[in-house]
A = this chain, B = another copy of it.
Amino acid sequence: MAIRKKPEMINQQVGWCGGCGHGIVQRLIAECCEELGLVEKTVQVVDIACAYWSIDTLNCDGIAGPHGRCAAVATGIKKVRPEANVYVHAGDGCSYVIGLAETCYTAMRDIPITMIVVNNGTFGMTGGQMNPATTLLGDKTVSSVKGRDEKAAGKPFDMLKILETFDIEYAARGALYDTKHINQTKKMLKKGFENQRDGKGFSIIEILSPCPTNWKMSPVDSMIKLEKENELIFPVRVYKDRGGEK
């Protein structure tokens, strides 16, 4: 059995709530960068949202993007520093709501970065409001106290279906609700980093992740909800793998 130990790239305790998936995501990222020997070249772009805490804990160059504009910030960085391993770690509010256009146009330009989106079905950092892209119908949030109602607030949509219409390298969705899916998610992330290393195009990996604090559920129950409810609407799978051919 190989030794399992917190990656060295992570240099202090994480600032997330207990049971939050962001911490797992950060670890998977760090593991990938270490295993691929990319640590020294890595630049992280985090959202002004719960992903932000990663700027304090990960030992690499980094910058926080204005809320929603991470993909555009990363574009600027990748164009000036094409040798760098540039990735985005952002929320589903950032990437799919206010930043929908930035995400799509980064795909349109096929910018060779690795974009990681944490789908926790809510605006975590601001206190758990409905996320118009990802909150399930009926889910109660502080801005949909009776549960999300389709008539008033529309219904969640699958952003990866949108992104697969672009000519991009890779799009996939993983999940964190059990170790099997965490391991699978890591493979997706690794693919995303490898694609970048190999000069292929835009890769995006979305990750179903719990926000126990704002869901007002225990971490364990949150994982159950992820599997039993969220995954039904947001299937875990590879949506697109261009295989480097263009």
Contact = CB atoms under 8 A, between A and B. Distances in A.
A157 B132 CA distance: 24
Nearest to A105: B132
Given A104-B100, A105-B132, A165 B154 contact: no
A123 to B, nearest CB: 15
Given A100-B104, A162-B162, A155 B132 contact: no
A73 interface: no
B155 A165 contact: no
Given A101-B98, A101-B101, A108 B165 contact: no
Contacts of A109: 153-154
Nearest to A99: B101
A224 to B, nearest CB: 27
A167 B167 CA distance: 23
A158 interface: yes
A53 interface: no
Interface in A152-187: 153-155, 157-158, 161-162, 165-167
20 contacts: A97-B101, A98-B101, A99-B101, A100-B100, A100-B101, A100-B104, A100-B105, A105-B132, A108-B132, A108-B133, A108-B155, A108-B157, A109-B153, A110-B154, A157-B166, A158-B165, A161-B165, A162-B162, A162-B165, A165-B165
